[in-house]
A = this chain, B = another copy of it.
Amino acid sequence: MKSSSRRKFIGDSVKAAAGLGLITLTSNSEISMMASKNLFVHHVYFWLNNPESADDLKKLVEGLRKVSKVKTIKMFHIGKPAGTNRDVIDVSYSVSWLLLFNNKADQDSYQTDPIHLKFIDECKNLWKKVVVYDSIDA
Contact = CB atoms under 8 A, between A and B. Distances in A.
Interface in A72-131: 73-84, 86, 88-91, 93, 95-96, 98, 100, 104, 107, 130-131
In this complex, the interface size class of chain A, counting residues with CB under 8 Å from chain B, is 35 or more
B2 A8 contact: yes
A1 B2 CA distance: 22
Interface string A48-65: 000000000100010001
B17 A90 contact: no
Copies in the complex: 2
A11 to B, nearest CB: 5
B10 A7 contact: no
Given A31-B65, A75-B16, A98-B41, A135 B23 contact: no
A135 to B, nearest CB: 3
Contacts of A22: 16-17
Given A8-B2, A20-B14, A20-B16, A34 B68 contact: yes
Nearest to A2: B11
A133 B131 CA distance: 12
